[in-house]
Amino acid sequence: MDPGLLSRIQFGLTASFHYIYPPLSIGLGVILVLTEALALKTRNPLFQQMTRFWTRIFGLIFALGVATGVVLEFQFGTNWSTYSRFVGDVFGSALAAEGIFAFFLESGFLAILLFGWDKVSPRVHMFSTVMVALGAHFSAIWIVVANSWMQTPAGFHLVQAALRQRAEITDFWTMVFNPSAMVRLSHAVLGAWQAAAFFVLSVSAYYLLRRQHLEFAKASMRIGLVVAVVASLGSFATGHQSALLVSRYQPAKLAAMEGHYPASAPAPLSLFGWVDEKAERVVGTTVPGMLSFLVHGDTTKPVTGLAAFPPADRPPVQPVFQAYHAMVGIGMGLIGLAFLGAFLWWRGTLFETRWLLWVYVFAVLGPQAANQLGWFTAEVGRQPWIVYGLMRTKDAVSPALSVGQALTSLAMFLTIYLALFVLFIYLLDQKIRHGPAADDLEMAYHRR
């Protein structure tokens, strides 16, 4: 046991647990903007009821997101102080910008979204909802920019300071628009929309199966399906773009994602399989030359493999391979589910297809799993580097941190997060069982 390993486990745990919530609030923000705009335009009380119900769910999810997110802002300093000293000049500004441009906006206008129904006009309320959704997206922008800088650093130079070397900004916009930032941002945001869309589908399907709140459930499901189709297709497209960038800027990560060992050879694409790390090959179903085709548009062109890197510079292969393939598999399944639903909607039989509704009830877990696996691929695939090619993870840990301290905090977070998760599921279930209140129809917009 060393403090570095414990810190990695702790960061993984806290970040993964946090990332249950922000995708839902980013995506639900979009859905709230849609339903409230429809309510404002059509004056149909059903849309008001939907806005009120999903706002209540949003409030619960947002609170958990805030509670678990504060930890992350300080963890760079507590556990990764050497990293913080090295990157502060570059990475810190993205984090500070997130606070100033995103967190204030989101939490400030959330007050009006949740508690301001009777205090402001419908238009001001609509504006607040848009600001909350915008704030959630701004937050995604800055944090993905910061993380992308760790994957594909740009816009900086290394300077020898008094005690140690550090990275200093040379061009802010080059740093912000580092090679992978915008593609990874769109992939993350679309994954968030998927998470919320399938969440809405799950709750709506549950009501339809129980024959409760039928009008509400049908209307919610239609909106959920529209977002699900758009976001699933978008995830597919941006995922492909993202893999191309990995092949260009982080070839070792791509090689691990596909279990491709030969230093330079045409590469097959594995659909699924098991990496035999001793024999340096993948056992499973593969399409010959397909990875070369996806990367270069030519099945015979070579792709850099793990053998091109000294063992000390290779990421763990099996976990990255499995996480990546599971993410892609789930992503494909979600596209199928979204399109099947849209097709049945068009045929007019969606709400009677009970087996699909049952699948939807559980499909809420799909985007959650895919989002986690995607980050796992990105972060573990970057190893052994914390900043790709510049600083190794093992050199980034706080020297002042002891094993005892790291164990204490890890045990503390593990306990609290488990308890929180149980409570969250319990209260979410209560809210869903309670359903959209009948008086939501009249309660909205007292001032109209």
Considering only residues 416 to 445 of the shown chain, the ones binding other proteins according to CB under 8 A are 416, 420, 423, 427, 430, 437, 439, 443
79 contributes a contact to other proteins by CB under 8 A: yes
390 contributes a contact to other proteins by CB under 8 A: no
CB closer to other proteins, 167 vs 227: 167
Q: Which residues within the stretch 392-421 sit at the binding site for other proteins (CB under 8 A)?
A: 398-401, 405, 408-409, 412-413, 416, 420
CB closer to other proteins, 288 vs 404: 404
Q: Which residues within the stretch 165-204 sit at the binding site for other proteins (CB under 8 A)?
A: 168-170, 172
Stretch that binds other proteins, among 86-94, 242-250, 267-275, 376-384 (CB under 8 A): 86-94
The residue within the footprint of other proteins, chosen from 74, 123, 297, 312 (CB under 8 A), is 74
Q: Which residues within the stretch 90-119 sit at the binding site for other proteins (CB under 8 A)?
A: 90-93, 95-101, 103-105, 107-112, 114-119
CB closer to other proteins, 132 vs 363: 132
The residue within the footprint of other proteins, chosen from 67, 134, 307, 441 (CB under 8 A), is 67
Backbone angles phi, psi at 339, to 5 degrees: -70, -40
Stretch that binds other proteins, among 163-171, 266-274, 351-359, 362-370 (CB under 8 A): 163-171
For residue 379, the minimal CB distance to other proteins (Å) is 20
51 contributes a contact to other proteins by CB under 8 A: no
Cross-strand bridge partners of residue 264: 304
The residue within the footprint of other proteins, chosen from 60, 209, 244, 407 (CB under 8 A), is 60
Closest of 87, 95, 241 to residue 161, by C-alpha = 87
Closest of 272, 275, 372, 266 to residue 317, by C-alpha = 275
For residue 26, the minimal CB distance to other proteins (Å) is 17
For residue 28, the minimal CB distance to other proteins (Å) is 16
**Residue 390 in contact with residue 153, Cβ under 8 Å?**
yes
CB closer to other proteins, 82 vs 353: 82
CB closer to other proteins, 156 vs 207: 156
CB closer to other proteins, 78 vs 299: 78
CB closer to other proteins, 149 vs 413: 413
For residue 67, the minimal CB distance to other proteins (Å) is 4
For residue 439, the minimal CB distance to other proteins (Å) is 7
Q: Which residues within the stretch 323-382 sit at the binding site for other proteins (CB under 8 A)?
A: none
Contacts (Cβ under 8 Å, ≥6 apart) of 156: 89, 90, 167, 168, 169, 170, 175
For residue 427, the minimal CB distance to other proteins (Å) is 6
For residue 171, the minimal CB distance to other proteins (Å) is 9
**Residue 140 in contact with residue 27, Cβ under 8 Å?**
no
For residue 385, the minimal CB distance to other proteins (Å) is 19
- Rounded alpha-carbon distances, angstroms, from residue 265 to 63, 251, 288: 50, 13, 12
The residue within the footprint of other proteins, chosen from 12, 33, 81, 230 (CB under 8 A), is 81
The residue within the footprint of other proteins, chosen from 5, 13, 37, 66 (CB under 8 A), is 66
CB closer to other proteins, 262 vs 435: 435
